[in-house]
Chain A
Amino acid sequence: ETGVTQSPTHLIKTRGQQVTLRCSSQSGHNTVSWYQQALGQGPQFIFQYYREEENGRGNFPPRFSGLQFPNYSSELNVNALELDDSALYLCASSLNLGIREETQYFGPGTRLLVL
């Protein structure tokens, strides 16, 4: 186990609704990254938070937003849900020492279904 937890495990929403996904990072880690994985595809980077600031963003629209809290846990918010947002959402925590990249450890994911 990686020590990274995500909630909820499964979620069903309808188009136009809003959703909040949560992630608790591994103890001692200061960076959280979020990924979207569509069925049969590799994970796609959404954004990353380092010390409560966004530290990079992938090719996702502004309706995907996030937060990182002082305890380094994080939220992913998606507004105005679309059918194509149905996917497995993964968060990963890591320790950014500012020198080099370290391993990212993934949580079990939240499976979102938009109807």
Chain B
Amino acid sequence: SQQGEEDPQALSIQEGENATMNCSYKTSINNLQWYRQNSGRGLVHLILIRSNEREKHSGRLRVTLDTSKKSSSLLITASRAADTASYFCATGGGGQAGTALIFGKGTTLSVSS
């Protein structure tokens, strides 16, 4: 079963615009990770945010985590055509090292030039 749910399922924007994707999850977590996947290939790790962190930045990416609402958001600023991909949030199990990642169904982002 899926733990997280991304919203929206699909997003279409123009180059230069910002893209915001949201993720909600159900149970307590140790961390939340965001991954990108291009055209059904392997997943590329973008960022990991731990449960005691509220915000994290990496280049054009900004991730927030609100554990009280069990939600996270991924913001991509100044989008480029190369950002076109599917984006997944994944949660790590609560309190146990080395456990499975539980993924949502993903947001498909399309950036047109």
Contacts and interface: CB of A to CB of B under 8 A. Distances in A.
B100 A48 contact: yes
A14 interface: no
Contacts of A111: 40
What class of interface size applies to chain A in its complex with B? 35 or more
A84 interface: no
Given A42-B104, A42-B105, A45-B102, A99 B97 contact: yes
Contacts of B40: 39, 88, 109, 111
Interface string A50-66: 10000110110000000
The SS class assigned to the A binding surface is: loop
Contact of A56 (B2, B88, B99, B105): B99
Interface in A78-108: 88, 90, 92, 94, 96-101, 103-108
Given A42-B88, A55-B98, A101 B2 contact: no
Interface of B: 1-2, 4, 30-31, 33, 35, 40-45, 48, 50, 88, 90, 92-93, 97-106
Nearest 4 interchain pairs by C-beta: A42-B103, A96-B98, A45-B100, A108-B42
